[in-house]
Structure 1
């Protein structure tokens, strides 16, 4: 598998449709610019859907890719290594911020086990049936997975994207459930952006103290030494310092772009996978929205590199897809406004109108301009 092949498969959202959407927006009763960024979102959705006016977002879905990362053994996370399955169980039980929001917004949630380090019997078969491997290697001293496993994980993400597109999902909310995932994600971003470990090291969604931050920074530094020699091959990069969940998310993002399925990104993990995907297919980011500012410095660098401007900045650092899901109502509002606001009456736009079978307006104005009378 060569991820660069996706570059030939991905097209940008339809520019002609976007121009039509902009012209439609100019005719609405609310002046252009009065709705701020909602105007831009509505036009972007029109181009993605190839529809003017835009169609409402009726079947959004959350997909969370789950995995454990061996680097968590170094104490780089606020949670114990190998405990991601507890996050998965809490989400399934409705006891996480993401689960509460999904319930409130009536959005279904799908969890995909790409690399959890637990007995499969602890979770429903629907979650664990796609597992690529049990946990990932310690990326500071060993590969996260083999090349074959990396390809299997990418193909898993592609398959999930196809399933969602075929089922009628019209907007994806992408997140992750992981322990140690931000360390792997920050390593990928530092490698692709050419920065040092200290520049990208954050404190993660669970929060870590200064000593844990120093351990995390050291782990990213060591992993970076292993990542730099393989920067020319995205699949090898994911195998070296990524993880099964990150590779699956990368394949998912690429295939969503192929299938013209818009995606809202969550935090640093999904942003890292998006950056890897952009390296393979430069048009792919045109199909993604950045949901929120996570507070992770690595996410800021990745979004800057992809020219993606987050929709929200509410200080939400919990991760797990929560910030991206919070942005969903904003996107739905943009679609509803673009689709349902009425157009101005012709007389309000300066266009010609007919009265008693005769055209007045521009022609009358032209007569006056030429020295005559509007009554001539």
Structure 2
């Protein structure tokens, strides 16, 4: 995958990105076979736990451990960044909401905090590109720049900035893995970020703006028209090269989208599963897989968002969501709800009796 960053020059950040991409390994087939064999020995009809069994087998392949001794330690990484395209009137909320919501996350009062607490997960907030100053003892500052430029009038960021955002995400994942976290969820905060997500999906999916642009925070019909026009103009002005993932990401993306793509690449390089949330997180996963195709098996799709385009992005990745709850909040909320299912899949392998151990006749 060296070709993905070669055009950026032989920079330290580019080398770090390439090294992480190269270090992603294939799933452990032996561990998957062992997990599948144990599932068939458990006191139940073969395959009767459906997708829970499929999840258990894939987790074994990701981690290389057929039967985990304990549940994986969980972290929801919430990347925050602002977007210059908000100047086009694409959101129902002003940009000031981004830092305000980040502080709410840090104070524990947002929906993601509530759901994370219920599942024993830690919320890790990262300022990768919020407009304005942010300070909090629990905030991870990985700022690349104070928000992207207006993609409807030029490139959202430079190629170097996109690489730096990717590497920031990789390093966050690596740091958390070193601290013992083995299961990640991707969350985001950034007013206007469904607009760059729609633009990225339009290019990578070969789709028109009207197919991928949704109402985001709840814009009216006039706002929806402005949003579609902004996406169309951004693609026309920037002429992104679909064959060059970094060109597309830098011209049309967001800093938090690139950061989340980096988290996915970094987690996969450490053999850690990643639960992706809604539309923005899924487009970030698409960016990660464009750069590092080997990352795809490490992804778990949590839910199907109500945001237009999310289902198309999931299909592009070949992923099926675990839940469909009519959600469209973001923050990582849908991903957090899947943590108990992942714990359940591991618990079945670890704790359920076999026919032999229970003294039950096998049909």
Corresponding residue to 2:34 among 20, 36, 43: 20
Corresponding residue to 2:289 among 278, 282, 287: 278
Equivalent residue, structure 1, for 2:77: 63
The superposition leaves residues 191-210 of structure 1 with CA deviations (integer Å, 9 ceiling, x where unpaired) of 00111000001111x22221
Any idea what SS the aligned residue of 1:297 has? coil
1: CA distance between counterparts of 2:133 and 2:146? 9
Equivalent residue, structure 2, for 1:316: 327
Corresponding residue to 1:88 among 83, 98, 102: 102
In the TM superposition, what is the alpha-carbon distance from 1:82 to its structure 2 partner? 3.9
Determine whether 1:176 maps to 2:176: no
In the TM superposition, what is the alpha-carbon distance from 1:176 to its structure 2 partner? 0.4
Corresponding residue to 2:88 among 74, 97, 109: 74
In the TM superposition, what is the alpha-carbon distance from 1:347 to its structure 2 partner? 6.6
Matched-pair contact (CA < 8 Å) for 1:65–1:114? yes
Equivalent residue, structure 1, for 2:275: 264
Determine whether 1:331 maps to 2:342: yes
Equivalent residue, structure 2, for 1:348: 361
Matched-pair contact (CA < 8 Å) for 2:55–2:345? yes
Q: How does 1:77-226 map to 2 (within 5 A)?
A: 77-120=91-134, 123-124=135-136, 126-127=138-139, 129-204=141-216, 206-226=217-237
2: CA distance between counterparts of 1:278 and 1:262? 14
The superposition leaves residues 173-192 of structure 1 with CA deviations (integer Å, 9 ceiling, x where unpaired) of 11101111111111111100
In the TM superposition, what is the alpha-carbon distance from 1:153 to its structure 2 partner? 1.0
Equivalent residue, structure 2, for 1:43: 57
Q: Which structure has the greater CA radius of gyration?
A: 1
Equivalent residue, structure 2, for 1:235: 246
2: CA distance between counterparts of 1:215 and 1:338? 51
1: CA distance between counterparts of 2:166 and 2:44? 44
Corresponding residue to 1:245 among 249, 256, 260: 256
Which one is further off, 249-258 or 302-311? 249-258
Distance 1:131 1:2, change over 3 A: farther
1: CA distance between counterparts of 2:182 and 2:236? 40
Matched-pair contact (CA < 8 Å) for 2:240–2:247? no
Any idea what SS the aligned residue of 2:76 has? strand
Matched-pair contact (CA < 8 Å) for 2:240–2:251? no
Any idea what SS the aligned residue of 1:304 has? helix
Matched-pair contact (CA < 8 Å) for 1:69–1:82? no
Matched-pair contact (CA < 8 Å) for 2:124–2:140? no
Instruction: Tell me how large the CA RMSD over aligned residues is.
Output: 1.8
2: CA distance between counterparts of 1:125 and 1:137? 28
2: CA distance between counterparts of 1:18 and 1:228? 43
1: CA distance between counterparts of 2:22 and 2:160? 23
In the TM superposition, what is the alpha-carbon distance from 1:7 to its structure 2 partner? 5.4
TM-score by length of 1: 0.88
Equivalent residue, structure 1, for 2:13: none
Distance 1:323 1:108, change over 3 A: same
Equivalent residue, structure 1, for 2:315: 304
Any idea what SS the aligned residue of 1:175 has? strand
TM-score by length of 2: 0.91
Any idea what SS the aligned residue of 1:173 has? strand
Unmatched tracts of structure 2, length 5 or more: 6-17
2: CA distance between counterparts of 1:132 and 1:308? 31
Q: How many residues align structurally?
A: 347
